[in-house]
Every structure is written in C-alpha cells, then in structure tokens.
Amino acid sequence: MEVKIGVQYAPRELVLDSAQSPAEIEQIVTQAIMTEGTLSLTDERGRRVIVPVSKIAYVEIAEAAPRSVGFTVR
C-alpha cells in the first residue's frame, strides 16, 4: 500500500509504502484522529513516521503502482 500524508504548512507530502492492508491503515488513522494524539505508521523497511494529528491535512491510501523500467510502449 502506498500512503500519502499531507502535512499543514509543508510543501511536500510524506509518502511511504506499507505492508498493511488499507483497512488496517484506515483504522490506525481513524483511531489517531479520535484520540487527538499522533499518527504513527511503519513502512516496509521498518522506518517509522510519526505526525501530530493536529498538523495532518489529509491521508491518501492507494495501491502501489508498479514502476516501469526501461523503454516501454504504452
């Protein structure tokens, strides 16, 4: 799963690839918003991203698109 987190007053969004399902990520985000604490997600390499809920603008959950390598015709 590819997760994009928009942070207020930040010019770029945070992007991470997660091994969790969309339902699990949605549950984590919803729970973080309800408790008004921090959103903490871990990517496939074990790196952790922690964002204060008060600074989150949006969270986008999508399937990771396969990247093409080389010269391909679409």
Query: Which residues make Cβ contacts (< 8 Å) with residue 60, sequence separation at least 6?
Result: 3, 4, 5, 6
pTM for the model:
0.76
- The matching CATH number, chosen from 2.60.60, 2.60.120, 1.10.1740, 2.30.30, for 2-62 is 2.30.30
Spatial CA neighbour of 22 closest among 5, 1, 41: 1
Estimate to the nearest angstrom the gap between the alpha carbon of 65 and the chain centroid.
Answer: 14
Q: For 22-68, how does the pLDDT look when each residue is reduced to its tens digit (9 = 90+)?
A: 889 999 999 999 998 899 999 888 899 999 999 999 999 987 666 66
